[in-house]
Structure 1
Amino acid sequence: RWPVPSESAETLLVERQGGDALFLNPLRFRPEAALSLRVPLSRTSLPAVKAVLGQSGPFEGLDYRGVPVLADLRPVPGSPWFLVTKVDRAEILEGLRRETAAVLFAVLLLVLLAGTGVGFFYKGLGKRAYQRLFQAERERREALEELGATLRGIGDAVLATDGEGRVRLMNPVAEALTGWSEAQAQGRPLREVFRIVNETTRAEAEDPVARVLREGKVVGLANHTLLLARDGREIPIADSGAPIFDEAGRVIGVVLVFRDQTKERLAQRALEESEERNRVIADLISDYAYIFRVTPSGELDGEWISQSFTRVFGLTLEEVRAKGGWQALVHPEDRAAALRHAQKVAGGQADTCEMRWLTAGGEVRWLRNYAMPILDRPEGRVIRVYGASQDITASKRAEQEKEKLEEHLRQAQKLESIGRLAGGVAHDFNNMLNIIMIYAELALRKVSQGDLMRQDLEEVQKAARRSADLTRQLLAFARKQQILPRVIDLNAILSDMATMLRRLMGEEIDFTFVPGEGLWPLKMDPVQIDQILANLAVNARDAMDGPGSVVLETANVTLDEAYHDAHTYAPAGDYVLMAFSDTGRGMDEATRSQIFEPFFTTKGQVGTGLGLSTVYGIVKQNGGIIHVYSEPGKGATFKIYLPRYAGEDRPAPAAHESLGPRGSETVLVAEDEEAILRLAERILASHGYTVLAASTPQEALRRAEEYEGPIHLLLTDVVMPAMNGKALFERLHGARPELRVLYMSGYTANVIAHRGIVDDGAAFLQKPFTISGLLSAVRRTLA
């Protein structure tokens, strides 16, 4: 009502916001427009625009409907708002026309009462004018009340000052934060009510109202500001201040808006602590954690990696990017699988993949990668990938080493089985060969030089010798060859063999021997060194089609625990290395894996397949290690590591005796093979010896007990039923201290506690033997 009924009158509350005038209260003709209707300041025909531009007083223009109006414009003291009271121009003029007509009619009809009528009319006009002014004031107060309600409903604190920085207005939130009521604060300087300090330095912060009054623009508080409330509370706040202008554009006050940041700070601190906790956990665990951002093209771009990754791989995230991203670190052979893994995860599916990565130093590390996509919930698009990579390098190496060990075990078991078979065959075959060789020799002694039978017997003898060589190689492979170890100087033995090796390989092959200085002594049978070198030399000769070279080297080598960890079949310790290298055809991996198997040969019908098997057996029998390094077209190197002898004995030169084949001593022969026993008895008796023959140890003991004369020599097989040769000698030696012993054997199944090794220095005769070999061995033992 205005103060009489009006169809168009209304009061507007407006505020300037940037380049617009904002209507703050519901409008009579557009109730929903409060706080949403804006008109640009360029529309100067609108009373609301003129009001926020600073004009006050009466104004005629167009309202927000485009209708001509008469308005009164006023600023609201102590605030950035303006009050516009307006009514449609048509309604005002219509009232004036009706009133003018009534006056003219009254003048004509009531001329006599003109004075009285005019006075009454003037009074009525004054009354209506006062009513209109009263209504305008009433609506202004209602607008202010509505403004107050709006301020009270705002969630942030609002505080307004005058141009001198004194508090004029506060909403309830400001009262709660400062601890001052509006009534208590009004008229007080802002610094007294709104005390702020720097959270870090505790220094008094700059007065925002003073700054707004000075600069005449909106300002904000610095970060880390604390409000010191009247009751002693310290409240972190965020603040901004805006100037209030009068009609002339002068700053006549300031409005401060601030809010409590306590909850935000707590939430931020909790977030930071959570991130730090997760970061520390990620850095402490051995796995490598990471976060990738998924680009719009579906590629993975690194955002974060854990310190554990940097420690092991030696690369920061920036350095990884500089190398071209994570793909550059993946082993070339695994990049295709890694790319499929990445595409799968970027497509929204969790996945696991094992792959090899390269460190900054080029070391290969095995990783088992677990990756999970993170989706943008509204769109369902993969925006990030979270993952962890477990370093499985150690387990992969252990797995590979296990496979190597299993392969070595299978190879050893296979060779052991074949060796047992070969040893068993050689044992029986040797005894038969011994009989053939001796009878052939006896027959040759009865045949004249021109007899046609002599050539046949010589061929039988040659075949028997070749067969004997074959059985010796079988026994060497089976590690059951009888050996006579002694302390030796490997360089001296190899020097003596150099001429023989050159003759064996031929003139086209250049042979070089490079002895190591200060070589450690070995303890093994020198004959076995001959066997090793002879087989390697023949193997090298056959591998070279024409001219070539062979280099034989020796050196002292210490295999440490690290070498043992990588090659568990090689015990750590001191070794004498013998390396035999040739420039032959070389071997591929398939051939190299089979060369030590008996009867395996690449020479067709020419080879027996026992040469390298013999070398392998001898090396293993002496506790050594053998390695082969070879590639097709690049020759081969055999490296043999033999254990260093750490005793006090020193190598002694071999004795060479020249003794006659005949004698007159008494010899006790113990041999469980009847044919060999009779042959030995026949040979010795025919050369002047008195022979006591026994086919069992028990019979030998009985014959010795019954024989009253001296017994000078015991010729005994090493292995016999019920008692071995060494035990027999010990039984006899107790009663006959002058008795000497000569052991003979073609095969020792497993000499108990000695693995087929007789006492150091004991005389030994290898089966099969010749007549001269038997007689010479007997004379050397008796000498």
Structure 2
Amino acid sequence: MKSIDMGSIGKNLSLLVLIAVLPALAIILYTGVEQRLHAIGNTREQVLLVTHTMAEIQTDIDRSAQQILSTLAMLPQVNSLDIKSCNTIFKAVLGQNPNLQNITLTNTQGEVLASGLSFNYSNLKDRKHFQQALERKKFSMGEYILSRVGKKTPAIAFAYPVLDNGGNPTAILTTSISLARFSSFYDDLELDEDTFISITDHRGVRLLYYPPREETNPVGKSIQAAAWKACSRALTPGIFMEKGSDGVRRIFAYRPVQLSSEATPEFYMWTGIPEAKVLGPANAILARNLLLMLVAAASALLVSWIMGKKALITPIKELVAMAGKFAKGDLEIPEKPAFKSGELGTLTQALHDMAASLAINRKSLEQNETRLRLLMDSLDAVVYVKDMDTHDVLFINQYGKKQIGDITGTTCWQTMQKDQNGPCSFCTDKYLLDDQGDPQGIYTWEFQNTITGRWYYIRDRAIKWIDGRLVRLEIATDITEKKETDAKIAEERERLAVTLRSIGDGVITTDTQSRICLMNTVAETLTGWSTTQAAGRSLTEIFNIVDMTTDQACKNPVEKVLASGETINMASPMTLISKNGDRKHIADSASPILDMQGNVTGVVLVFRDVTEQLCTEQELRKITKLESIGVLAGGIAHDYNNILSAIIGNIQLTLMDSNLTDRTQRFIKQALDASLRAKNLTIQLLTFSKGGRPVKKTASLVRLIRDFVDSTCRASNIACHCSFPDDLWPVEIDRSQMGQVVQKLIQNACNAMPNGGTIEVSCQNVRSSPTKHPDIAPASNRVEMSIKDTGVGIAENLLDKIFDPYFSTNQPGRGLGLAICHSIVTQHNGQISVKSTPGKGSTFTVHLPASTQRSESTTQRKKSVQEARKLRILIMDDEEMLRDLTRAMLTDLGHDTFLAKDGVEAIEVYKKAMDNNTPIDLTIMDLTIPGGMGGKEAVQKLLKINPKAKVIVSSGYSNDPVMADFKAHGFCATLSKPSRLADFTDLINRFTDQDLTI
């Protein structure tokens, strides 16, 4: 029997021969069972081989990605976050590695800093590979993602941390490899359409399912629980039979993929072949044999034995041998497959194709290695790799060979240093590994080579070599010339340091090439550059000045001094743009530095910040301009409001006539609406005059802002985000006027974003904030309100004009909005300012004095409802038309009215009513009576007669601050002109409730 022992299939064939002597039925049934087992066995071999091959491909991908990212992480351009250089390098690497979808460099918040390809999405913080690389500080693989570059296709993502000297991540390198290549692998196998290949991540989520079946096996969703339970956390390949998500029973094979032998699987490779497809041929053979059992039993046994040996055992052994060669890395295969037909032939051909593909990939990796070596050789720095155990040099780039020769294969301490009897005492290997012996952060140091005498700035890091051993990668940049230059200027810098620090103006000294030598503290603050950062750089790079009006770059003052040899002074203030983009207005002068022979050796530049001075001057001009308009507005407001009062009142009385036709009522209502709009215009004009002084109450800005933000931004394509601290201080404001400020600033922001955008509204408490304008009273504490948009912005030459009346940059605007805002804020003892960058948006900031009182409760007391009662009301006004109109309104409301043209007559009427025991319930007084006693004087006399008298002050305009502080003058409420019927109704109702405060 040993002569026919050919493994499991051979034993089964031998068993068939023994069974051939059994009754015909038993032979046929056994033959059918044998065929089923044979088909399942073949299928197991196939699916295991396919999953094994897919796992090998994936492992090569992981190693390739790790090698590329770890190499990029060592580049100085990446470590210094040189975005422009990183973009160039990444694009070059992508061009050489078509399998990579993209390479990005992100900060630790996930924001993309550099990218090989352009794409809109700019934050990768939510990705698993990013989070793990940041947390573990080592190479990490992601879970299921849809690529955000180009077409949204499934991809495998990788991340590698860029570490600082302390081993802490400063940035994250990421890349992703499309899973689409496995689709091509499936097509090459030419499998049945119900056979699939799949990849799942460590949670059982499908990354790839091919051919795609989104209805039953969608990518991005978890596989069924039974299948996941069978392979979850398995470290070795497996196979089982189960019903799939689409209801088809299949033979499943899986193979886990790990980043390292100790790690848990990151991915699982799957292959599934329908059981019906496998058993279908066997069932057909069984049916056929039942029909032919009498005539072909003997022939079938002989043929099955011969064909089984030739068609099954030999090809399978060849496939197993071929797979073993692949596992050992031997990709040499026969030119033609040994088996040409059937599924085994298809699988054999697929393995041949797979070997060819692996060979191509291997060649690609070798080419990548060549490209990376070329990249290393192009660096102007010594780059070498040495074994951390044997100290043998494994690699040195071309620059290093020019400096110290080709020392590959030698011991580093023997060829790179002199007079060493063993490993160097200053060797940095001990700093590159943690307590567990794993690689940690980059170690940087400066060292003078003992052979060449050259100084180098060195960056060392431990990495795993391609064979798994630990090596040290060192990048050494020659800084000898820099050391010599530093030594020469150190003495001069020390002599000037004390003098420069004591000067209150900014001081910068340069050489004759306009390179910066020294800067004092003030200059560092104004430019945003430290002396260390600026030393050796061109003056135009650090001292960036532009014309205040045109924003055009100014000529280098050093060049002017060198050309003339004399001291120059700036004719007018210029704008200095600091490193972080801040703008300061400065005045400066520049003088030549002469040596003992009178030769010019450099230039000293002295400048000071005049921003505050210019802002104060502009603010004074602005306030003066607004005050002039206020005089005009105040002169018009009083007479205009009296006229409007008569118009609005008569219109409202007319509307009460029940005999009016619908058409007439419609026309009259239109006239009323127009009159009310005229009233709003009057209110805007009043803000320019002292007559529009605010009626202040303690309130919180939060609710006021939210009310106007909701109403202004509703039903628009603009998003508004609000941010307020819980402990925001209350302020003393006129809610109506300050509401205009908020509304107009929000509308202004919306107009600046016609295509949509974002508005950010925030408030914060500011302690001891000094005011910039001498006329604005200082406050120990202030509340700051900021409204920022992402609109078109405002040109710098227009910023000092935007608060001017009738100046507007918006087409639909009339130019009063910001002027009104400025007037209202100023009358609240506050200040308003704006910062804007064209194309990026504007930020308006309002400062208001903080109140020491608590704000009013947001829930007002519910007034009691009482039945209206008939009142006796005294009306004092110098305009007969207004007196008659008011009487008509109040009479229609059911009240008795008494008239007086001035204060003297009003007092007489009031006394007479008291003497007749019919006292006046309510008095409405005009504040100003030309040539007679007005309300301010009359109310005092009236209160002497009756201290409990209820007196309301009414006015369209007044230079007297009575309207803003009416209670201090004896009044219990105010009534602004023009007044509507509803105003009288509301006032009477509140009087009935014994609550006349406004």
Given the two structures, how large is their TM-score scaled by the length of structure 2?
A: 0.42
Q: Which residue of 2 aligns with 1:341?
A: 561
Corresponding residue SS for 1:680: helix
Q: What code does the residue aligned with 1:368 have?
A: S
Q: How does 1:374-385 map to 2 (within 5 A)?
A: 383-384=598-599
Residue 576 in 1 paired to residue 789 in 2? no
Residue 462 in 1 paired to residue 673 in 2? yes
1:242-275 Cα shifts (integer Å, max 9, x gaps): xxxxxxxxxxxxxxxxxxxxxxxxxxxxxxxxxx
1:114-173 Cα shifts (integer Å, max 9, x gaps): xxxxxxxxxxxxxxxxxxxxxxxxxxxxxxxxxxxxxxxxxxxxxxxxxxxxxxxxxxxx
> Which residue of 932, 943, 947 maps to 1:733?
943
Q: How does 1:621-770 map to 2 (within 5 A)?
A: 621-647=827-853, 651=857, 653-655=859-861, 657=863, 663-707=869-913, 708=915, 709-721=918-930, 723-751=933-961, 756-759=964-967, 762-770=972-980
Asked whether the equivalents of residues 699 and 855 of structure 2 are also in contact (C-alpha less than 8 Å), the reply is: no
1:728-778 Cα shifts (integer Å, max 9, x gaps): 222211211231122222222233xx6843227942222212112212212
Q: How does 1:299-448 map to 2 (within 5 A)?
A: 323=536, 336-345=556-565, 351-353=567-569, 368-370=589-591, 383-384=598-599, 391=606, 393=608, 397-398=609-610, 400-446=611-657, 448=659
Q: What code does the residue aligned with 2:957 have?
A: Y
1:272-328 Cα shifts (integer Å, max 9, x gaps): xxxxxx99999999699x9x999xxxx6999xx9xx9878779xxx99997279999
Distance 1:475 1:419 in 2: 7
> Aligned in 2, Cα 1:762/1:553: closer, same or farther, shift over 3 Å?
farther
> Aligned in 2, Cα 1:762/1:538: closer, same or farther, shift over 3 Å?
farther
Q: Which residue of 2 aligns with 1:539?
A: 748
Query: Which has the greater radius of gyration?
Result: 1
Distance 1:681 1:729 in 2: 20
Asked whether the equivalents of residues 748 and 756 of structure 1 are also in contact (C-alpha less than 8 Å), the reply is: no
> Aligned in 2, Cα 1:387/1:438: closer, same or farther, shift over 3 Å?
same
Distance 2:498 2:813 in 1: 65
Distance 1:685 1:431 in 2: 20
Residue 557 in 1 paired to residue 766 in 2? yes
Q: What code does the residue aligned with 1:615 have?
A: C
Distance 1:326 1:513 in 2: 42
> Aligned in 2, Cα 1:583/1:300: closer, same or farther, shift over 3 Å?
closer
Q: Report deviation, 1:650.
A: 5.1
Distance 1:550 1:301 in 2: 43
Q: What code does the residue aligned with 1:405 have?
A: T
Q: What code does the residue aligned with 2:715 have?
A: G
Residue 588 in 1 paired to residue 795 in 2? yes
Asked whether the equivalents of residues 776 and 829 of structure 2 are also in contact (C-alpha less than 8 Å), the reply is: no
> Which residue of 609, 615, 619 maps to 2:825?
619
> Aligned in 2, Cα 1:689/1:748: closer, same or farther, shift over 3 Å?
same
Asked whether the equivalents of residues 549 and 582 of structure 1 are also in contact (C-alpha less than 8 Å), the reply is: yes
Distance 1:577 1:727 in 2: 40
> Aligned in 2, Cα 1:646/1:468: closer, same or farther, shift over 3 Å?
same
Q: Report deviation, 1:425.
A: 1.9
1:715-740 Cα shifts (integer Å, max 9, x gaps): 11233345543432222112112311
Asked whether the equivalents of residues 487 and 651 of structure 1 are also in contact (C-alpha less than 8 Å), the reply is: no
> Aligned in 2, Cα 1:300/1:480: closer, same or farther, shift over 3 Å?
same
Asked whether the equivalents of residues 788 and 841 of structure 2 are also in contact (C-alpha less than 8 Å), the reply is: yes
Distance 2:581 2:718 in 1: 42
> Aligned in 2, Cα 1:402/1:689: closer, same or farther, shift over 3 Å?
same
Number of aligned positions between the proteins: 475
1:515-541 Cα shifts (integer Å, max 9, x gaps): 321111122222223322332333333
1:351-393 Cα shifts (integer Å, max 9, x gaps): 5555999999999986534559789xxxxxx653599969452
Q: Report deviation, 1:603.
A: 4.2
Residue 486 in 1 paired to residue 697 in 2? yes
The gaps in structure 2 that reach 5 residues or longer are: 1-494, 525-530, 546-552, 994-998
Q: What code does the residue aligned with 1:517 have?
A: D
Q: Which residue of 2 aligns with 1:113?
A: none
> Aligned in 2, Cα 1:577/1:309: closer, same or farther, shift over 3 Å?
closer
Asked whether the equivalents of residues 497 and 520 of structure 2 are also in contact (C-alpha less than 8 Å), the reply is: no
Q: How does 1:159-308 map to 2 (within 5 A)?
A: none
Asked whether the equivalents of residues 535 and 615 of structure 1 are also in contact (C-alpha less than 8 Å), the reply is: yes
CA-atom RMSD in angstroms? 4.6
Q: Report deviation, 1:619.
A: 1.5
> Which residue of 530, 549, 559 maps to 2:739?
530
The gaps in structure 1 that reach 5 residues or longer are: 1-277, 376-381
Q: What code does the residue aligned with 1:401 have?
A: E
Distance 2:983 2:832 in 1: 33
Distance 2:742 2:521 in 1: 51
Q: Report deviation, 1:459.
A: 1.6
Q: Which residue of 1 aligns with 2:727?
A: 518
> Aligned in 2, Cα 1:608/1:719: closer, same or farther, shift over 3 Å?
farther
Distance 1:485 1:689 in 2: 32
Residue 500 in 1 paired to residue 711 in 2? yes
Q: What code does the residue aligned with 1:541 have?
A: C
Q: What code does the residue aligned with 1:323 have?
A: G
Distance 1:686 1:667 in 2: 13
Q: What code does the residue aligned with 1:716 have?
A: M
Corresponding residue SS for 1:626: strand
> Aligned in 2, Cα 1:280/1:402: closer, same or farther, shift over 3 Å?
closer
698-707 vs 755-764, greater mean Cα deviation: 755-764
1:588-637 Cα shifts (integer Å, max 9, x gaps): 23443333223333444x43332333322221221122122323332333
Corresponding residue SS for 1:664: coil
Q: Report deviation, 1:434.
A: 1.1
Q: Which residue of 2 aligns with 1:548?
A: 757
> Aligned in 2, Cα 1:688/1:418: closer, same or farther, shift over 3 Å?
same
Distance 1:782 1:431 in 2: 27
Asked whether the equivalents of residues 593 and 603 of structure 2 are also in contact (C-alpha less than 8 Å), the reply is: no
Question: Which structure carries more relative contact order (alpha carbon 8 Å, separation 6+)?
Answer: 1
> Aligned in 2, Cα 1:659/1:607: closer, same or farther, shift over 3 Å?
farther
> Aligned in 2, Cα 1:354/1:514: closer, same or farther, shift over 3 Å?
closer
Identity %: 25
> Aligned in 2, Cα 1:585/1:782: closer, same or farther, shift over 3 Å?
same
> Aligned in 2, Cα 1:286/1:358: closer, same or farther, shift over 3 Å?
farther
Q: Report deviation, 1:695.
A: 1.8
